[in-house]
Chains A and B, each alone.
Chain A
Amino acid sequence: MSLSLIVVQLLNGVQLGLMLFLMASGLTLVLGMMSFINLAHGSFYMIGAFIASSLLAWTGNFMLSLLVAVAGAGIVGLLLEIGMLRKVYQQSHLQHVLITFGLILVFNELARLIWGPFPVPLPVPALLAGSVEILPGITYPTFRLAILLVGLAVAAALYVVITHTRSGMWVRAGASDRAMAGAIGVNIELMFSLLFGMGSALAGLAGVMAGPILTVQVGIGEPILILSLVVTVIGGIGSIRGAFLAALLVGVIDTFGRILFPPAIGSMMIFLLMAVILACRPQGLFPARA
């Protein structure tokens, strides 16, 4: 394997990892705080990509489409949380699975009604269409580099908010012991609605950024959902730091697994990684709850 291939694949792995982190950060906090399994989290990813595609075709402005799509996914998530999900947190996990699986069916069919069964275009913006020379003789697509930078920026911002602000402290308190945080005056309900909306918005952001690389069609949310669940389990439920490290680990190992091993084995690598980590640490790498 040449050096340039290693560098490019490493960047691809990190980029996939950052995308997964955008997905998993919302998922892991929701799980940690409300122990609510949201299988429909991938739907926000799909919604983000679809809204961006329509807006881009209409306005031609990628930045505007991105912002509106992220806001749109966030608003859908917020409304869903306020309108329905907050009433079912107390039910069993089995019921969470049923309800959110039903939501996937509903969202997928609505997307099929609105955007049709065929893939819709989401082209790379002209400004980021080329590629840049990152090292002498090694070029990398500008758009992928942009995803990398946006992912890192969001991850850094999230880290600062969660670890260095008062509202971040509330979130962490809520994730490690909801009842206690509520008892000392944190408005858990409001905070959780906003958190859910933010998680949905981040999933939407991941969808918009992945759109130009993958194809935007009904059902794109499910594969990324499974990977995000793996990230959440490896990182430890409720832990942002765990989600970040696990996302990078999964992104890099998945990318290299696919080029180093035959496809049947390569596609199983991250699941085997998960199995090994769980066999040693059943609560994941950095569990939020002691």
Chain B
Amino acid sequence: MPKDLPAFIPGIDRRFAGIALPVIVMAALALLPWLAVRLDDPFLVRLFTRIVIFAIAAVALNFVLGFGGLASLFHASFMGIGGYVVGVLAHHDANETPLMLGPLAISGTSDLLITIPLAMVCCVLLAFITGLVCLRTSGIYFIMITLAFNQMIFYYFVALERYGGEDGLQILSPLHFGPFAAPKGAAFYYVCWGALCASLLLLRQIISSRFGIVLRAISQNERRAIALGVPALRYKIAAFAISAAVTSIAGALLATNQKFVSPADLSWIRSADLVIIVVLGGISLVWGPVIGAIAFFLAELLLSSWTIHWQLPFGILVILVGIFLKEGIISSGSPAAAWTRRRTRHG
């Protein structure tokens, strides 16, 4: 991992870049449905629902990537499995057949208050098992192993004919939160927005806690942390599991939004997209990936409305980000942060 990984924004900068700016960005996102009504453009809400959902996953990925030094290409799997838990249980609910897990018969349900926590439990278990193998390694090995594990999960779901195999699984039964039907349009956007706020607050709290400080210490110098008596592997597994749990929420929301899950939702391309979003936004701030998600999807939208071969300029853009944008759009070293630093010093 990069040795010059910026530490938590020190001093004055911290208040503005860490508190005021994200509050402004989240408030702007909260006003979006209002703007969509004013512009009479309902597509805007659909687009930003997707952006906010991916922002949740990217913020969760950044928790281990930016603060734990773990460049995981496994996060599409957490997202996809979150979606599949919602989809599979809704499928059994619609067919009124129980899901057989060995001797256990689980009846299907479309209640997201049950399926989302269940998705989180599944992903935490998966993170724990895979983490035991992949978190022992670091650097190149870690990247390649998480990539391979991701494809393992991908091929598993491709071969799972019972749930649609390669074609994916349509969610036919009406999803609901306890007694309330799952909202649509702007209301669902606010559910996702709320989930993003909650994820940001939770992860921010964890990062500034003792746990987060130890995690950052491990990412900067694992050998020294171990010499100081830190059980590094356990910390990394715990961080990986926390990240997996939050990512699975994004996956479940995405499935609820699309009424559909397919193996494409957990291919490694999706994992790479998440990494691009994180790096684009900036890995040094908890909320950096929110900016990354907005930039990523707006770039995709603009380029694809310009040409059907939009992946060509998009690929070039990704290469340029890789070469030049080391700290992302929002970070302690970026022009935006330098500007805020000047502002706060004068003010």
Residues of A bordering B, CB below 8 Å: 31, 35, 37, 87-88, 91-99, 101-106, 108-110, 112-113, 222, 226, 229-230, 232-233, 237, 262-264, 266-268, 271-272, 274-275, 278-279, 282-283
Q: Which residue, of B148, B159, B312, has the highest number of chain A Cβ atoms within 10 A?
A: B148
Q: Which B308-347 residues have C-beta < 8 A from chain A? A: 309, 311-312, 314-323, 326
Residues of chain A within 8 A (CB-CB) of B161 are 263
For the complex of A and B, 9 pairs with smallest distance between CB atoms: A105-B315, A98-B322, A102-B318, A271-B152, A102-B319, A99-B322, A106-B315, A263-B159, A267-B155
Chain B count of residues within 8 A CB distance of the other chain: 47
* Chain A residues closer than 8 Å to B137, beta-carbon distance: 278, 282
Provide the bound-state CA to CA distance between A31 and B160, in Å.
34
**Could you tell me if A35 and B140 are in contact, using CB atoms closer than 8 angstroms?**
yes
Among A92, A102, A104, A267, residue most surrounded by chain B Cβ atoms (within 10 Å): A102
Interface of B is mostly: helix
Residues of B within 8 A of A102 (CB): 315-322
Contacts of B159 on A, CB cut-off 8 Å? 262-264, 266-267
* Selected contact of B155 from candidates A106, A113, A268, A282, CB within 8 Å: A268
Residues B139 and A93 in contact, CB atoms below 8 Å apart: yes
- The listed residue (A88, A222, A237, A278) touching B133 by CB distance below 8 A is A278
| A83–B127 CA distance with the chains assembled, in angstroms | 40
Which B91-137 residues sit within 8 Å CB-CB of chain A?
130, 132-134, 136-137
Per the bound structure, the CA–CA distance linking A282 and B147 in Å amounts to 16
Q: How far is the CB of A101 from chain B (nearest CB, A)?
A: 5
Q: How far is the CB of A164 from chain B (nearest CB, A)?
A: 29
* A98:B318 contact, CB within 8 angstroms: yes
A109 adjacent to B143 (CB under 8 Å): no
Closest CB of chain B to A95's CB: distance in Å?
5
Q: Which A residues are CB-close (under 8 A) to B323?
A: 87-88, 91, 95, 99
Are A98 and B321 in contact, CB atoms less than 8 angstroms apart?
Answer: yes
Contacting A264 at CB < 8 Å: which of B145, B156, B309, B320?
A: B156
Query: B146 to nearest A CB, angstroms?
Result: 11
A106, B310: Cα distance in complex, Å: 10
Q: Is B73's beta carbon under 8 Å from chain A?
A: yes
